[in-house]
Homo-oligomer: A and B are copies of this chain.
């Protein structure tokens, strides 16, 4: 007898190739890369990956990096990035470790170095091909993360020697969390305060050697291992202190700010674009949200279709048939589907804007685009890394006890994922920054100013009663609620942005919702390769997404009179119908991600749906049968221990006490 997963797969009514092509325009390349990864004995991720200790993980990730060095010099960088993203689905830490060098280190130089500096550090030295230099990104300090402008490391210029001295003035200025510093990196881009002629010019970027060709620390550099983390232990994060480390004037990145040999500093109004190095990470994390979300919702849904509990003996109900279980998982399925087109648009826009900036043809427009990209990427990164964290947690709970097993993949997933909420922009900080920009854009729009394409909606006019009579309204309702919340924020704003931080947070979340619905709607409308069944199913997901989030934020929708109670009750009832529409194709909808078993890497989530057998075999293969614990004597000694009296020393036994008591 085939199992439920196989049975429902056979009965799927949507074409999964078409859905896959809709979700992933590069689907052929994706499948090729997947094959290359899983056929490579070093790059593929075995089940017992979840058992590896920190030293083992670090060694393995170094080996994977060595392996990837073969690809980095034979394919173009965009393709290599795609390979990295796909490899990161099963092993996110290794890609972080390589990305510290190829993205953070190199992007800091690309974004802030002169053409010569870029040429020298990235290409002549071989960094971009993982040769000679392994760079790290020494920005964060112990006491400063989000507030980069307040970093305390100093780079003091000496015109006589034409060098800077890099120093860590106090403990709190120790560079901290620096990925790659503990073991891998021999160079760093160091964010430090430029001091020249006694004046502090704020934080600039310096290329600093950390280790010599024998990988020994250079003079004045002290480095330690940060140690164990919540997740991603394959990354060798470290701390760095500098004691009079000397670097030549030419090692300061000088695309914008320049320093003359005599120490005269030339600042530039273009400084703001120097932080663009961090955007790449935010864009990548939005794409990660799609990729990882697809992985984990697949595990939970395959398990939910296959697992039975309660109901008639021998014919127990599949847990996915329970209303609550559908309510727990299907909205996340819709989220993942919407994240596909949305994250792809963000990547495309990012690449175009960075290219335009570099070309420098219309710098004013490029800078405006960059600002919009800041807002979009902040809102999307924060909102969706939070949501995927919830998805993973819900997926784990939805797999019951088995979800707590390492081989479900969901525990490690949560640990590895959690850092996304914090690094390269803390989610709360990003959200309220994005929210503030949205309020300002709204104000500017009201004053008739032109807004960027992704924010034009802030000028939209709505009837007092928005009709829910077409699909487009599922995008518009987000525009409307954003406008209402922005209006409300302005009405209670007391001159201090602190007074509206709750509203800013909401606006950032709603903007992400709007961005995803808008992008999905456009692709769906344009897409000509889909059959009617696929189109209908994608529309159901699209509808579910907005219905679910309306219900989740029902307080706001009712408070601002966008819905009334009866409309909300109607939406709640309709949501259940959407679940029913999707129910027959849940296996098809997850198969459409086309992730091989090795990429999903979960005993519960294999394609064959035969999870009890898979899981048992994995457990027995890796943990054996009937072994005694090495420390078993500790326990058996307890169980066999003598009585309390016998355990006491002789001088306390009853007999002794009687003897001693004879003449007392």
Contacts and interface: CB of A to CB of B under 8 A. Distances in A.
B404 A229 contact: yes
A133 B639 contact: yes
Given A327-B502, A644-B73, A630 B59 contact: yes
A401 to B, nearest CB: 5
Given A183-B628, A396-B418, 18 more contacts: A58-B629, A62-B635, A134-B639, A145-B400, A150-B309, A171-B613, A227-B407, A227-B623, A322-B501, A324-B432, A401-B422, A404-B422, A414-B415, A551-B555, A554-B558, A558-B565, A559-B569, A561-B565
A328 interface: yes
Contact of A629 (B236, B313, B401): B236
A132 B559 contact: no
Contact of A428 (B58, B145, B184, B324): B324
Contact of A634 (B63, B228, B393): B63
A623 B224 contact: yes
Contact of A313 (B150, B560, B630): B150
A464 interface: no
Contacts of A498: 322-323
A661 to B, nearest CB: 22
A154 to B, nearest CB: 14
A273 to B, nearest CB: 21
Name, among A401, A554, A565, A572, the residue most crowded by chain B CB atoms within 10 Å (CB to CB): A401
Interface in A139-167: 140, 142-147, 150
A649 B498 CA distance: 64
Nearest to A180: B635
A175 to B, nearest CB: 12
Nearest to A223: B626
Contact of A502 (B62, B324, B415, B556): B324
A347 B624 CA distance: 40
A232 to B, nearest CB: 9
Interface stretch (A47-55, A333-341, A370-378, A527-535): A47-55
Contacts of A501: 322-324, 327
Interface in A482-530: 498-499, 501-502, 505
B316 A150 contact: yes
Name, among A58, A316, A616, A630, the residue most crowded by chain B CB atoms within 10 Å (CB to CB): A616
A255 B414 CA distance: 44
Interface in A279-327: 307-310, 313, 316, 322-325, 327
Contact of A174 (B171, B184, B556, B616): B616
A100 interface: no
A95 to B, nearest CB: 16
Nearest to A63: B634
Interface in A404-424: 404-407, 410-412, 414-415, 418-419, 421-423
A353 interface: no
A103 interface: no
A107 interface: no
A616 B505 CA distance: 33
A2 interface: no
A466 interface: no
Given A69-B641, A555-B554, A631-B58, A227 B405 contact: yes
A5 B438 CA distance: 36
A231 interface: yes
A239 interface: yes
A268 to B, nearest CB: 21
Contact of A418 (B133, B147, B404, B568): B404
Contacts of A659: none
7 contacts: A62-B634, A223-B626, A227-B619, A414-B414, A551-B555, A555-B557, A559-B565
A74 B644 CA distance: 9
Contacts of A624: 224-225
A226 interface: yes
